[in-house]
Structure 1
Amino acid sequence: MSLSGMDISLLLPVVSGLGLGLALIAAIGPQNAFVLRQGLLGEHVAVVVALCVASDLLLISAVVAGAGALLEHAPVVTLLLRWAGGLYLGSYAVLAARRALRSADRLEVTRTTGAPRRAIVLTTLALTWLNPHFYVDTVLVLGAVAAAQGADRWAFGAGALLASVLWFTGLGVAARLLRPLFAHAVTWRVLDASVAVVMGMLAVGVLRG
């Protein structure tokens, strides 16, 4: 095999992992909504992005190493994760709806006061690890495709991790460009109302299985 042929054979699983990772991670969800919100606020963006990427690194590595097959055969664990995630998504929808219903003045105060770093860290971890879709996408979908890669599964996993880095970094940075639009309280109301609807629908879907 020529050198160029070897390079292509090594690159293909990375590109495949990158493409599938972006396709899965780009869906609207609580994690993406939270990263976008923090990016718009300009608060602890680097911390939030780092936690999201680190979480993906841990789970993707575990899945590529074979933990996905174990979780598939643990229906009790899957059921517990589904209920915990569904309830958490529901509570997040309620909080988003409350923010959308606040008065303009109160919303402005909330927007400029800022939240403690510890609260941001805990919220990011909860929205990531209590989200059933995090496990469905990574363990079942990504894990199944990674297993089919054979010896190239680690290159595939590296591509999926690259997708996580690019997506969350881009989302956190690109949010700054939207700040002029979110200078008005009504825009925040629309965002929070949309998040409440989406999170509510996801919660119902998760609880119903």
Structure 2
Amino acid sequence: MPYFAGLATSLTLIVAIGAQNAFVLRQGLRREHVLPVVLTCALSDALLISGGILGLGALLTRSQLALDVAKFGGAAFLYTYAFLAAKRAFHPGAITLTDHAPAALRSVVLACLGFTYLNPHVYLDTVVLLGSLANQRGTNGRWFYGLGAVTASFLWFFSLGFFSRKLTPFFTRPRAWQLLDTAIALLMTTLATWMLLA
């Protein structure tokens, strides 16, 4: 059935550890603007998957300028976030779950949009791959496939954002935040470098 095929394929792609997932995890642990963050991620996926079904993938793969902008802009964004995470890692006592200055909703949502739309791989996964797989299902089947893929996105981001708080006891210690931010800094740096070399 197209719906379950879309659900399974999307989950396979989305569960992989990446910059966006690391950001959602961190916001969930901080319990800070979690609903706007997960909605931004899930609705963005819905928009991109729908664009893929409507043929946006073919246009994107033909535009070298669009690919270059996403590539270099995305890498610059990831390097910046890696620097900020590394900076936090060197001052682990500055952030705990019980004592931190909450970030403004606007800045959090803008960061979330950056992790989503400045990552060229999100276009390859959603617009190109899922869009082309959906379009192999025929006129009606493609939308059921897309609905399954969108459902997977909502399930994943809501689970990651809201169930990450189960790790709260571990993250009451500054050392845990230091380890998380060090891992995030390394991940972002690796992804940005890979993006430029790909």
TM value normalised by structure 2: 0.95
Q: What stretches of structure 1 of length at least 5 have no aligned partner?
A: 1-11
Counterparts of 1:1-209 in structure 2 under 5 Å? Answer: 12-104=1-93, 106-108=94-96, 112-151=100-139, 152-209=141-198
AA matched with 1:193: T
Identical-pair percentage: 45
- Structure with max Cα Rg: 1
* Structure 1 residue ranges (4+ consecutive) displaced by more than 3 angstroms after TM superposition: 108-111
Change (3 A) 1:103 1:199: closer
1:134-175, CA deviations, whole angstroms, 9 ceiling, x for partnerless residues? 112112221221222222111110000000000001001111
8 Å CA contact 1:93, 1:197 repeated in 2: yes
Distance 1:131 1:110 in 2: 32
- Between the aligned partners of 1:103 and 1:52, the Cα distance in structure 2 is 28
What is the Cα deviation at residue 108 of structure 1?
Answer: 3.7
1:117 maps to amino acid:
L
TM-score, with structure 1 as normaliser: 0.90
CA–CA distance in structure 2, aligned partners of residues 150 and 85 of structure 1: 34
- Is residue 16–residue 159 contact of structure 1 (8 Å, CA) maintained in 2? yes
CA contact (8 A) 1:41 1:111 kept: no
Bigger mean CA offset, 57-66 vs 108-117: 108-117
Q: 1:71: how far off?
A: 0.8
- Give the drift of 1:181: 0.6
Task: Please report how far the alpha carbon of residue 130 of structure 1 lies from its aligned counterpart in structure 2 after TM superposition.
Answer: 0.8
Q: Quick one: distance in 1 between partners of 2:85 and 2:62?
A: 35
Alignment CA distance shift 1:109-1:126 (3 Å): same
Distance 1:190 1:103, change over 3 A: closer
Over aligned residues, Cα RMSD in angstroms?
A: 1.5
Deviation of the 1:87 alpha carbon:
1.3
